[in-house]
Amino acid sequence: MKGLVPFGVAIAVLAVVPLLTSSNVVLNFLVVALLIALVGQGWNLLGGYGGQYSFGHAAFFGTGAYVSAILQVRYGINAWLGFCIGIAAGAAVGAVIGALTFRSGLKGSYFALITLAFAEVLRIVASVAAITGAGVGTLIKLDLRPEAFQFQSRAPFYWIILALVGASLIIVRMIEDSRFGAYLIAVRENEDAAKALGVNTTVIKIGAMTISAAITAAGGGFYAQYFLFLDAGIAYGSWISIDALLAPIVGGLGTVYGPLLGALVIKTLGEATKLLTSDAPGLDLVIYGCILILVIAFAPRGIVGIFADLNRRLRAGKTDAPASLEQRHG
């Protein structure tokens, strides 16, 4: 598999962080950034590779979180098993929403609005249903044992979310190198041309949405274990839908490393704003909005695109150099 070396280096560098610092602030920041990277990678598969911009990835995040939490709290199911069932439930929600929207041919802004509507409906249902704890929310009982997916320190959480991000990177890299991935990109680039070449575009889009939802639901399940508390506004709130799309767009749409880079950058800027403005509520969202406008206007291919351009210019510079030497001698 191509690109395995930078992948290994990136994960190895990130993996040693807890050995260098025991600062909860640093680790907490990185855990949240990696969580956004994971959720963003889910969004990136459907939005970046498939060109289907969802505004409602909260639907999958919240389902992963609630299913995992409710199974533990109300049915006494093991947290790890609940986490896995949560992922499956998120994938199922993705498949159902995907089937409903793509089979009726919804595209572009209509698709974005419908996904937003699904997430909002789930948020409202979760805020009144008894099983989610309605307005009170769901609290997972403190049980600091690894078997219960709870830990004394933040380091194990950090390694788990890092492993999940690593797994999502490998999954997306493998998809890039497969027929499914080639078809998914073809759908993004030109749906009619893809159909004429034998691509069942509806099936491809539903498949992408299912995998995308599963990755995002894993983020939701992790969130539940890490914070041990959920309510409708957290699980199905628009904050996660926004972070999910902002990370890959800032980092580089349709690239393997885009969501990770983007998540680190936007979370760093978000924290910096909080420090500078002494926690004025909502100001980080103002900053996010400005970043999004700037990126779309000046770097539509994100951070990965900026690096690719720089790399190309450097190489062009190197090949120019021998030519100018020859001129001098000639």
Partner 1 sequence: MADLLRVDQVSMRFGGLLAVDNASLTAEAGRITALIGPNGAGKSTLFAIISGFLRPSSGSVFYDGAEIIGEPPHRLARRGIARTFQITQPFAGLTVRENIAVGAHLKRAARPDALAAAGEVARAVGLGELLDRPAADLTVAGRKRLELARALATEPRLILLDEVLAGLNPTEVRVMIPVIRAIRDRGITVFMIEHIMEAVMSLAEHVFVLSEGRMIAEGTPQAIAGNPRVVEAYLGHGAATRMMETDHA
Q: How far apart are CA 59 and CA 9, in angstroms?
A: 33
Rank residues 186 and 244 by Cβ distance to partner 1 and give the closer one.
186
Rank residues 194 and 230 by Cβ distance to partner 1 and give the closer one.
194
Closest CA to 126 of 241, 240, 231: 231
Rank residues 21 and 104 by Cβ distance to partner 1 and give the closer one.
104
Taking the complex as a whole, the smallest distance from the CB of residue 278 to partner 1 amounts, in Å, to 44
Taking the complex as a whole, the smallest distance from the CB of residue 195 to partner 1 amounts, in Å, to 4
Taking the complex as a whole, the smallest distance from the CB of residue 204 to partner 1 amounts, in Å, to 10
Rank residues 121 and 193 by Cβ distance to partner 1 and give the closer one.
193
DSSP secondary structure string, 112-145? HHHHHHHHHHHHHHHHH-TTTTTTT-EEPPP---
Taking the complex as a whole, the smallest distance from the CB of residue 304 to partner 1 amounts, in Å, to 14
Taking the complex as a whole, the smallest distance from the CB of residue 37 to partner 1 amounts, in Å, to 24
Amino acid at residue number 104: S
Rank residues 149 and 183 by Cβ distance to partner 1 and give the closer one.
183
Rank residues 89 and 256 by Cβ distance to partner 1 and give the closer one.
256
Number of neighbouring beta carbons within 10 Å of residue 132? 23
* Site of interaction with partner 1 (CB under 8 A): 177-179, 182-183, 185-186, 188-190, 192-201
Alpha helices in 230-282 (DSSP H): 232-235, 238-251, 258-276
302 touches 253 (CB < 8 A)? yes
DSSP secondary structure string, 162-229? HHHHHHHHHHHHHHHTSHHHHHHHHHHH-HHHHHHTT--HHHHHHHHHHHHHHHHHHHHHHHHHHH-E
Rank residues 49 and 60 by Cβ distance to partner 1 and give the closer one.
49
Taking the complex as a whole, the smallest distance from the CB of residue 283 to partner 1 amounts, in Å, to 36
251 touches 303 (CB < 8 A)? yes
Angstrom CA distances, 181 to 87, 90, 171, 196, stand at 21, 21, 11, 17
Alpha carbon 180 to chain centroid, angstroms: 20
Taking the complex as a whole, the smallest distance from the CB of residue 193 to partner 1 amounts, in Å, to 4
